[in-house]
Amino acid sequence: MNALIVYESMFGNTRKIVEAIADRLRAADVEVTVSLAYDAPADLSDYELVIVGAPTHAHSLPRPKSRSEAAVWAADPTKELVLEPMAQASGVREWLQRIMLVGDPRFAVFSTRADIPSIFSGDAGKAISKGLRRRLARVESHADFLVGLDNRLLEGEEMRAREWASELVPLPIA
């Protein structure tokens, strides 16, 4: 199976979730391509599974303004955040405008977001699902992974990402 993972990340948390998912899928013999959204293919015809993830900004997907705000946070030494390479490039919101759906890949979406009820945090995953379904894509699964007030993943979230990936593609029986 060929899988594509498309994401953006400001401080590395979404990237760590992506790495955990990719690692788990590769253990299930999936051919995995990981791509930052700005560089991700628009033609999805080569993939049977497409996983899309992003941080939640202002209750939804990042925008150019919120990405700039993230850079301001990272410049504050008291926050101890490091900006990811290409954090200011275009992201999942812009990629969703570019995609061409040929074939019928399965989609799974996730967000990273604050550890508060989602009614208060918002959820980038919902915006991703909406953008995909508008293009008649089949979104089969949705997960969110939580960060604390310090903008770092809660303990156990990378393990939860691995478990989620296992649900998407079960390990072959040894």
Ligand X SMILES: Cc1cc2nc3c(=O)[nH]c(=O)nc-3n(C[C@H](O)[C@H](O)[C@H](O)COP(=O)(O)O)c2cc1C
Q: Which is nearer to ligand X, 93 or 106 (CB)?
A: 93
What token pair was written down for 3?
Answer: 């899988």
Sites for ligand X among residues 112-141 (CB under 6 A): 112-114, 121-122
By the rule CB under 6 A, 160 interacts with ligand X: no
What token pair was written down for 114?
Answer: 């604050």
By the rule CB under 6 A, 105 interacts with ligand X: no
User: In the chain, what is the greatest distance between 2 CA atoms, to the nearest angstrom?
Assistant: 49
Give me the residues paired with residue 114 across strands: 147
Site for ligand X (CB under 6 A): which residue of 32, 125, 139, 151? 151
By the rule CB under 6 A, 75 interacts with ligand X: no
Please give the size of the binding site for ligand X, defined by CB under 6 A.
22
**Contact of 134 with 102, CB cutoff 8 Å:** no
By the rule CB under 6 A, 80 interacts with ligand X: no
Sites for ligand X among residues 3-42 (CB under 6 A): 9-14
**CA 48-52-54 angle, 5° bins:** 170
